């Protein structure tokens, strides 16, 4: 697909120079750059979703840990005198 884009002159010059150094066309350079940027954004989005899920599950895990701690403290406080050995 062909498209026209506007870029600052300085950016155009840098891209033109780097594309030539790499032996690729400007179109290839822009295409590769766009793909990399898209992957970066997708990765950031995935990382954010994972972090949100961990935060949500972290709250549940903390709640369960507090419940277990309260239960085990109560159990420890009841003593062992009635336990069969």
The 3-class secondary structure across the chain, one letter per residue, is CCCCCCCCHHHHHHHHHHHHHHCCCHHHHHHHHHHHHHHHHHHHHHHHHHHHHHHHHHHHHHHHHHHHHHHHHHHHHCCCCCCCC
Q: What's the mean pLDDT in 39-67?
A: 78
Say if residue 17's pLDDT is above 90.
Answer: yes
Question: 30 near 19, Cβ under 8 Å?
Answer: no
pLDDT band of residue 85 (cuts 50, 70, 90) is low
Q: Where are the domains of the chain?
A: 27-70
Choice between 56 and 28, residue whose per-residue pLDDT is larger: 28
* DSSP3 helix / strand / coil % (the chain, rounded to 5): 80, 0, 20
What pLDDT, on a 0 to 100 scale, did the predictor assign at position 82? 59
- Percentage of the chain modeled with pLDDT above 70: 85
What pLDDT, on a 0 to 100 scale, did the predictor assign at position 77? 62
């Amino acid at each position: 697909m062909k498209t026209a884009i506007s870029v600052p002159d300085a950016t155009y010059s840098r891209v033109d120079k780097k594309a030539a150094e790499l032996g690729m066309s400007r179109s290839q350079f822009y295409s590769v750059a766009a793909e990399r940027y898209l992957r970066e954004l997708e990765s950031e989005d995935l990382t954010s979703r994972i972090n949100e899920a961990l935060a949500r599950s972290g709250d549940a895990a903390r709640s369960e840990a507090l419940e277990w701690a309260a239960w085990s403290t109560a159990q420890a406080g009841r003593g062992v005198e009635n336990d069969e050995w």
